[in-house]
Structure 1
Amino acid sequence: TFQVFAIAGLKTLITREIAKDPKLTDKYLVNGSVIVIGSTLFSLVGLFIFMRIMGYDQTPGLYVSLEDIKSGVGWFNAWVNQANTAHIILIVCLGLMPFALASICEAVFQGREQMTYIAYVNGPANIIRIVLILILTINGTSLYPIAILMFVSHVFVMIAEWYFMLRHITVPKLQFDLRFAVQQVKKSLTFLSIDALIAVFASTYLILISKFINEAAVGLFSSATQLVTPLVILYQSIVLSVFPIMCQRFDKDNPSGMKRISNTLLEILLILAIPMTVGVFAFAEWGLVFVYGKEQFAEAGEAVRLMALVVLMQSITAVLGRVLVASMRERVTLRIVAVNLVISLVLGIYFIPRYGIFGAAFASLLAMFVDLAQHYFPVAKMLNGVPLINLSWRPTLAAGIMAAFLYIMKDQNEILTIGLAIGVYFIALAILMIITVGSPQKIRAKYLGTV
């Protein structure tokens, strides 16, 4: 949550504005960096106040007693052994500053369509971070070294991304423009509100499950959502990569350019999302047991199926939401997120006490229908229609053929069946594409030529 306030809603704003006018790169980079330094300091002050209210400051100070040092365990080991919540939170949150500054770099990279630099840094950093945390966990270390590792990794990412920025993008003049910065802050408040509401929304069902049921149910619901989370990340990554082009194509007097690129992006995502949804429906219980290694996780199978439908609709709203932002309609997005939060809370309070994790998944599905409608109607009005049926019939028909194949192969080895089903789907889709679109050259022109 404090990361949201540290970035201050600037990331999406900077990406959009630089995509529209790359000449403003230096101005947004310098002023944005100064703003997030200030917002991070405010976030840390808020964190200290929160810790005091929660009583986390009633813990040993950052010192080690003389007796511990004399015992021969060493200063660092003695300090590690007195781990407490306050110190862990403080160490992790020291990473807010490098995280925020790195986020400004990433916004510039995205706006300039140079996302490869983000991958160059975050790919190795995430791999190293996971490996080291795994090693520390296996060796039974306390949380202190892990917290320090997280802080160091944020610093590394910041330094590496700024290196690429200064080496390959721009060496900005260090000129702070107070009036421009104030305008930035005003524009970013809507995005900050959106991010804050999304952060609250993300934990709504987990909090309600914990309150009305128990922690075991929280674990089951988390396992259901985590199984489909990679799909969400995939869809969001694809949309994010095209977002700068959407910003460039926006013309309030002529929406045809935005309509072409959004329709193409929607169809590409549906080509991926529809068969994945069918696959999750077919292998929900098996996937849970395969990933988590325990049979009791299969109890979340029905919840996973409902969450797969939620993710399918999210693949659509991800595109429509970016259309709204690229079209300078972020206030509509803010209204949508606020309504979603209220509806999710009401539905969760009603369904979770009665139906447990299935009720949470069902509430999420109903809320997602409302979310889709809220996105669809303003975008359809702006673009003179969003032809979802026309965009989805080919992948739906191909996925139906794949579903029939899965039914025939239901008693066979799951991994082999999944591999063959993927082949069946893409062969069926290719045949449909050739029949309805034409030669491979025409297919390539239809989907890649638009972007």
Structure 2
Amino acid sequence: VVKVLKHPADTTQALEIIALSLFPFALSSAAESTFQAMERMDFIALAQIGAKGIQVLGSILALMAGKGIIALSWMIVISQSFAALIEISIVKWLGLWRDFKVNWGAAISLFSHSFDFFILSIFVIIFSKLDVLILSQMAGEKAVGLYNAAYLIIQVINFLSASYSNAAYPVLSRLFNEARSYFETMLRKSLLFGIVITTLIALLLEVAAEPIINLLYKDKGYIASALLLRIEAPFIIIFIWNAILASGLMVSNLQRRSVIVSGIKLGVGLIYYVFLTTWLGVVGTAIATVLAGFTGTVLNLYFINKEVCSLNLTALAVKPLAVGLILMGVFWLSRKIILPWLILEILLCYITLLIVLRIFTKEDFRLIWQTIWPL
């Protein structure tokens, strides 16, 4: 497939290297399925946090050393192999596969129902690589380096969001079958918790984008990445909502809707990336990432509202985002203040507004904590 695509030599080599990560990924997937069945998502978080840390640290060092897409591809293979090693070690330590037997009847039955998940995985994987592939083709490796320098920071935060969504998944699945009203409450509170936390993080990224880039890369050549980081900061809000809403569809046995959403997101994402990258270069790629994610989230929200439960957008999204916009105004008016004091000011204002407007209460936090902590 890589040869048929006829990409430039460096892109082709990068894809061939990334393909090596499929084997450890398969091992990780098998182990993670076992952990999900046990509702022990903390094992997955342990392995993935370590793996993502290795990938991010290795990628930053590679970029600082002037390396390109080939080195970044090897970081993906190394991190995925590390995750597989940790997860298989945990499986062996717990003796989970000691009496492993293949039930061919059950396997065939599961395979017959797996087509939607197979297509969904293909769409998700292609979309996750679409930005870099198009950017490398249209703007070259230098632009890819600037884009990755900012997006790696976004990926770290999104990984934590994905970990939360994965931890909530088995709980939501059980509640959907055993206590539907509690499931709906948990889904709403998860969305509210997600937007409250990620809005604050997005604000801090907007405020401290340049110091973060300078601290991590120590090279004036990456100063343009600060602008990209500011553009992509809202994506972390979009990402956690997309992840939680997708989990809501999956546990409701509406995986076909997830396939539709992922397919549409991939199609419009391709249009966004090609058009905006052609028009604005690497800045356009960053904008396209946000727009594509937003499109997927809107579609997931539509299907959840239509077929699962009604969500009050005013309470769940409008109020927290309004607080965020107010604080962006505070940041603009106070931008000459020394950075640490500015961050402290934003934190205090944000917490105060959450309390005064009763956007997220102690009871809400206690519900989320009690549901996720046992995992």
TM-score range for the pair, normalised by the shorter chain length: 0.7 to 0.9
Paired AA for residue 115 in structure 1: M
Q: Which residue of 1 aligns with 2:123?
A: 197
Q: How does 1:37-116 map to 2 (within 5 A)?
A: 93=20, 97=23, 99-116=25-42
The reply on whether 1:236 has 2:162 as its aligned counterpart is yes
Runs of 4+ in 1 over 6 A off after TM superposition: 50-54, 124-138, 145-152
Q: How does 1:138-287 map to 2 (within 5 A)?
A: 153=82, 156-166=85-95, 170=96, 173-251=99-177, 255-287=180-212
Q: Deviations over 1:348-388 (max 9, x none)?
A: 22221121112222223332332122111110012341112
The reply on whether 1:345 has 2:250 as its aligned counterpart is no
| SS of aligned partner of 2:114 | helix
| SS of aligned partner of 1:185 | helix
**C-alpha distance 104-225 of structure 1, shift in aligned 2 (>3 A):** same
**Consecutive unaligned residues in structure 1, runs of 5 or more:** 1-45, 55-84
Paired AA for residue 89 in structure 2: A
Does the CA-based 8 Å contact 2:119-2:259 persist in structure 1?
yes
In structure 1, what is the Cα distance between the partners aligned to 2:226 and 2:63?
29
Structure ranking higher on relative contact order (CA contacts 8 Å, 6+ apart): 2
TM-score, normalised relative to structure 2: 0.79
In structure 1, what is the Cα distance between the partners aligned to 2:130 and 2:364?
43
The reply on whether 1:412 has 2:346 as its aligned counterpart is no
| SS of aligned partner of 1:379 | helix
Q: How does 1:323-362 map to 2 (within 5 A)?
A: 323-362=248-287
Does the CA-based 8 Å contact 1:310-1:368 persist in structure 2?
yes
Q: Which residue of 2 aligns with 1:381?
A: 306
Does the CA-based 8 Å contact 2:42-2:167 persist in structure 1?
no
| SS of aligned partner of 1:244 | helix
Q: Which residue of 1 aligns with 2:241?
A: 316
| SS of aligned partner of 1:250 | helix
Q: 2:288 aligns with which of 360, 363, 380?
A: 363
Paired AA for residue 366 in structure 1: L
Indicate the RMSD between aligned Cα atoms, in angstroms: 4.0
**C-alpha distance 285-320 of structure 1, shift in aligned 2 (>3 A):** same
Does the CA-based 8 Å contact 1:336-1:375 persist in structure 2?
yes
Q: Which residue of 2 aligns with 1:15?
A: none
Task: Compute the displacement of 1:336 (Å).
Answer: 1.1
In structure 1, what is the Cα distance between the partners aligned to 2:199 and 2:251?
26
Does the CA-based 8 Å contact 2:151-2:232 persist in structure 1?
yes
Paired AA for residue 182 in structure 1: I
Task: Compute the displacement of 1:301 (Å).
Answer: 3.8
Paired AA for residue 161 in structure 1: I
**Consecutive unaligned residues in structure 2, runs of 5 or more:** 7-12, 65-70
| SS of aligned partner of 1:203 | helix
Paired AA for residue 320 in structure 2: P
Paired AA for residue 210 in structure 2: E
Q: Which residue of 1 aligns with 2:9?
A: none
**C-alpha distance 230-447 of structure 1, shift in aligned 2 (>3 A):** same
In structure 2, what is the Cα distance between the partners aligned to 1:398 and 1:267?
13
| SS of aligned partner of 2:253 | coil
| SS of aligned partner of 2:311 | coil
Q: Which residue of 1 aligns with 2:317?
A: 392
Q: Which residue of 1 aligns with 2:351?
A: 426
In structure 2, what is the Cα distance between the partners aligned to 1:135 and 1:300?
16
Does the CA-based 8 Å contact 1:118-1:161 persist in structure 2?
no
Paired AA for residue 320 in structure 1: L
Greater Cα shift, 183-192 or 121-130: 121-130
| SS of aligned partner of 1:176 | coil
| SS of aligned partner of 2:135 | helix
Does the CA-based 8 Å contact 1:117-1:164 persist in structure 2?
no
In structure 2, what is the Cα distance between the partners aligned to 1:251 and 1:377?
22
Paired AA for residue 337 in structure 1: S
Greater Cα shift, 418-427 or 375-384: 418-427
**C-alpha distance 162-201 of structure 1, shift in aligned 2 (>3 A):** same
Does the CA-based 8 Å contact 2:51-2:79 persist in structure 1?
no
Paired AA for residue 289 in structure 1: N
Paired AA for residue 372 in structure 1: T
**C-alpha distance 109-304 of structure 1, shift in aligned 2 (>3 A):** same
Does the CA-based 8 Å contact 1:402-1:421 persist in structure 2?
yes
**C-alpha distance 101-231 of structure 1, shift in aligned 2 (>3 A):** closer
Aligned length: 357
Q: Deviations over 1:212-245 (max 9, x none)?
A: 2222112222223223222211211111111101
In structure 2, what is the Cα distance between the partners aligned to 1:347 and 1:151?
29
Does the CA-based 8 Å contact 1:275-1:395 persist in structure 2?
no
**C-alpha distance 283-158 of structure 1, shift in aligned 2 (>3 A):** closer
**C-alpha distance 99-449 of structure 1, shift in aligned 2 (>3 A):** closer
| SS of aligned partner of 1:220 | helix
**C-alpha distance 136-161 of structure 1, shift in aligned 2 (>3 A):** farther
Q: Deviations over 1:170-228 (max 9, x none)?
A: 46534322121112223233222212222211222222222222221122222232232
